């Protein structure tokens, strides 16, 4: 049993969760919201810990609350002042992140440090990380597997979905909850950088290759797993942080697919 | 505040952070007027790989003059690469979406920076310096670079203010008046990159953009005329960095984060003050 096998398993599981949830986040055009969640997960975890104690569900609830507060604050600034949307986002996101960094500094009993939150510590993950990530993966599979056709309709045609009697508000809430839960679960394992990269890059790449729901989700999952495995394999001999290498590969894959796509179209035309 | 002043490193920090606050505030006003706030955030992330490589080529754990030249060249290169990638990926092929392209490019480049850092430092020990800054451990050279950036920005604002105002608020007229827009834009980007590199040393890659945007946003809420906005924005920038340093010293808060919190507080105050002023004038009008 080599020492890095456990870490590889953890990174792969995190990649699977992010690719799966990220696929539906992408379809529902919530990429900016994923950004909001990733910025506010830090103060959220601290708030959840202070309110409910040391438990993964408390962290997820806190992260969700903080992310909602973050988007509400942006909306409020945008409506009530003459600042444009980009300036509002530029003020609010870092404010939440900074609040998290400061709060983390004087809350005892939370074994997180801001540095590790950013780049993760896959190679030295604490016990319990595996359980949180595995639970997030099972929740995501259960939620999407149970209502596969409904999720497809909801993602591609929300109006039709509501007209045909689907509980669209509930589904939106479930998707948000899954996003927050998986962000919290993978945070300690792989860090924020990689969490954002894993949420965004595989679905974005898959969306350039197919338009059908099944292949899209499958491809997104395969890309996430492949990029994570390749990045991990490269990072070990280089002695680099796996999170950084995997994020770089995500960008490389996206750019390569875009490049090939524009080439083949040029040839066909 | 005699206790505050008795530490040499704090005097140095205050000198550097004051210049940074003024510089970031001045450029931030232009950034917001150009609707480029998100680009500022992105730039802080995207310059990381270039800065790290340039820093390595300059040698030494504390950047010397060569290190700064390397960091600046690297920052220009990776910032430029990011801009090219985003604009190409937002357009190329089917399924292209600007928000998605931006998120993928910046997380990828930031990841590349983290990966290079981790290799260089064999583990993750010193990564924190680049990510969160080291405002309390600025070197005299850091302070010098910050003041140089501020001097350049002040000179640029003073000599190019008319052209700048035209560019920001009436591009058509600017074109007709023969203002070299491309040159002006290039000057702005170069100054922005220089200031972000200087700011990286103090507050880190994750939060430097916030100090560009927050003081300027507060200034746009508090004043209407652009010259007043620029002046106020510089003052608010100074208040954010100096106030953050004070809070950090008094309560032990993380320094860069404390500066961002002060900046955010200024936005809230300016917004509240504006609503209050409007309510008062409405009441006076009714009476």
pLDDT at residue B5 greater than cutoff 70: no
Closest residue in chain B to residue A256, using alpha carbons only? B89
Please report residues of A whose CB lies closer than 8 A to that of B216: 87
Task: State residue B69's pLDDT score.
Answer: 80
User: What is the C-alpha to C-alpha distance for residues B190 and B76, in angstroms, rounded to an integer?
Assistant: 8
Task: State residue B127's pLDDT score.
Answer: 54
Query: Do the Cβ atoms of B92 and A81 come within 8 Å?
Result: no
| Nearest CA distance, A34 vs chain B (angstrom) | 10
User: What is the C-alpha to C-alpha distance for residues B193 and B170, in angstroms, rounded to an integer?
Assistant: 25
User: What is the C-alpha to C-alpha distance for residues A49 and B282, in angstroms, rounded to an integer?
Assistant: 44
| Nearest CA distance, B280 vs chain A (angstrom) | 17
| % of chain B exceeding 90 in pLDDT | 29
| Contact in structure between B32 and B220 (CB atoms under 8 Å) | yes
Task: State residue A165's pLDDT score.
Answer: 82
Rounded average pLDDT over A169-185? 83
Rounded average pLDDT over B168-189? 83
Task: State residue B219's pLDDT score.
Answer: 95
Please report residues of A whose CB lies closer than 8 A to that of B258: 98, 102
Please report residues of A whose CB lies closer than 8 A to that of B96: 208, 258
User: What is the C-alpha to C-alpha distance for residues A137 and A20, in angstroms, rounded to an integer?
Assistant: 9
For B19-31, what is each residue's pLDDT tens digit? 999 999 999 999 9
Task: State residue B266's pLDDT score.
Answer: 95
| Nearest CA distance, B33 vs chain A (angstrom) | 9
Query: Do the Cβ atoms of B104 and A105 come within 8 Å?
Result: no
Task: State residue A37's pLDDT score.
Answer: 77
Task: State residue B157's pLDDT score.
Answer: 93
Task: State residue B58's pLDDT score.
Answer: 67
For B208-233, what is each residue's pLDDT tens digit? 888 999 999 999 999 989 999 999 99
Mutate to test the interface with B, among A29, A36, A95 (most CBs of B within 10 A): A95
**Count of CB contacts below 8 A, A vs B?**
227
Least confident of A11-15, A249-253, B6-10, B12-16: B6-10
pLDDT at residue B149 greater than cutoff 90: yes
Please report residues of B whose CB lies closer than 8 A to that of A90: 37-38, 40-41, 209-210, 212-214, 217
Task: State residue A213's pLDDT score.
Answer: 87
CA distances (Å), A55 to each of A63, A109, A110, A176, in order?
12, 12, 11, 19
Q: Which residues 6+ apart lie within 8 Å of B39 measured at CB? A: B31
CA distances (Å), B42 to each of A75, A155, B30, in order?
21, 28, 16
For B40-80, what is each residue's pLDDT tens digit? 777 888 888 888 888 777 655 566 677 778 888 888 888 88
Task: State residue B228's pLDDT score.
Answer: 94
> Pick the residue with more confidence: B268 or B3?
B268
Task: State residue B122's pLDDT score.
Answer: 47
For A9-36, what is each residue's pLDDT tens digit? 888 998 999 999 999 888 887 777 777 7
User: What is the C-alpha to C-alpha distance for residues B119 and B100, in angstroms, rounded to an integer?
Assistant: 28
Query: Confidence class of residue A125 from pLDDT cuts 50, 70 and 90?
Result: low
Query: Do the Cβ atoms of B114 and A102 come within 8 Å?
Result: no
pLDDT at residue A75 greater than cutoff 90: no
Q: Which two tokens stand for residue A189?
A: 């394992």
> Pick the residue with more confidence: A35 or B110?
B110
| % of chain A exceeding 70 in pLDDT | 88
Task: State residue B233's pLDDT score.
Answer: 96
For A224-263, what is each residue's pLDDT tens digit? 999 999 999 998 888 888 888 999 999 999 999 988 877 7
Rounded average pLDDT over B179-185? 82
């Amino acid at each position: 049993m080599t020492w890095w096998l456990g870490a590889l398993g953890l990174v792969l599981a995190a990649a699977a969760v992010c690719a799966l949830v990220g696929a539906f986040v992408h379809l529902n055009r919530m990429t900016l919201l994923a950004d909001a969640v990733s910025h506010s997960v830090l103060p959220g975890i601290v708030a959840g810990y202070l309110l409910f104690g040391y438990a993964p569900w408390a962290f997820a609830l806190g992260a969700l609350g903080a992310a909602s507060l973050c988007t509400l604050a942006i909306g409020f600034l945008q409506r009530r002042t003459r600042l444009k949307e980009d300036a509002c986002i530029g003020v609010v996101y870092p404010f939440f992140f900074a609040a998290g960094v400061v709060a983390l500094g004087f809350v005892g009993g939370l074994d997180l440090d801001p540095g590790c939150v950013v780049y993760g510590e896959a190679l030295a993950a604490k016990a319990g990380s595996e359980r949180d990530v595995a639970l997030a993966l099972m929740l995501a599979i259960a939620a999407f597997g149970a209502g596969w056709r409904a999720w497809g309709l909801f993602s591609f045609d929300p109006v039709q979905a509501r007209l045909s009697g689907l509980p669209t508000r509930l589904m939106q809430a479930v998707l948000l909850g899954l996003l927050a839960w998986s962000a919290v679960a993978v945070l300690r394992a792989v860090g924020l950088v990689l969490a954002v990269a894993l949420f965004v890059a595989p679905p974005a790449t898959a969306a350039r290759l197919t338009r059908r729901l099944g292949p899209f989700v499958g491809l997104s999952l395969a890309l996430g797993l492949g990029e994570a495995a390749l990045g991990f394999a490269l990072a070990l001999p280089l002695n680099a942080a796996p999170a950084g290498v995997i994020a770089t590969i995500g960008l490389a894959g996206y750019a390569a697919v875009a490049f090939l796509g524009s080439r083949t179209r040029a040839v066909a035309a | 505040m005699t206790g505050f002043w008795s530490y040499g490193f704090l005097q140095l920090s205050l000198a550097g952070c004051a210049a940074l606050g003024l510089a970031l505030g001045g450029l931030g006003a232009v950034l917001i007027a150009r609707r480029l706030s998100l680009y500022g955030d992105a730039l802080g992330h995207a310059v990381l790989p270039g800065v790290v490589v340039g820093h390595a080529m300059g040698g030494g754990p504390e950047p010397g003059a060569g290190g700064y030249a390397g960091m600046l060249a690297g920052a220009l290169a990776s910032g430029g690469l990011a801009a090219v990638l985003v604009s190409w990926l937002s357009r190329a092929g089917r399924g292209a979406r600007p928000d998605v392209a931006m998120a993928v490019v910046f997380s990828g480049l930031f990841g590349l920076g983290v990966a290079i850092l981790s290799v260089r430092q064999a583990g993750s020990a010193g990564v924190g310096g680049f990510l969160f800054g080291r405002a309390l451990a600025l070197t005299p050279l850091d302070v010098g670079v910050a003041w140089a950036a501020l001097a350049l920005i002040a000179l640029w604002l003073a000599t190019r203010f008319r052209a700048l105002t035209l560019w920001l608020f009436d591009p058509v007229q600017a074109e007709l008046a023969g203002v070299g827009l491309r040159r002006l834009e290039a000057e702005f980007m170069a100054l922005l990159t220089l200031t972000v590199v200087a700011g990286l040393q103090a507050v880190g890659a994750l939060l430097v953009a916030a100090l560009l945007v927050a003081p300027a946003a507060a200034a746009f809420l508090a004043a209407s005329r652009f010259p007043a906005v620029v002046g106020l924005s510089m003052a608010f920038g100074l208040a954010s960095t100096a106030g953050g340093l004070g809070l950090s010293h008094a309560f032990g808060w993380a320094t860069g984060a404390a500066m961002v919190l002060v900046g955010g507080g200024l936005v809230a105050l300016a917004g509240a003050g504006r609503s209050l002023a409007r309510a008062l004038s409405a009441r006076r009008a009714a009476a």
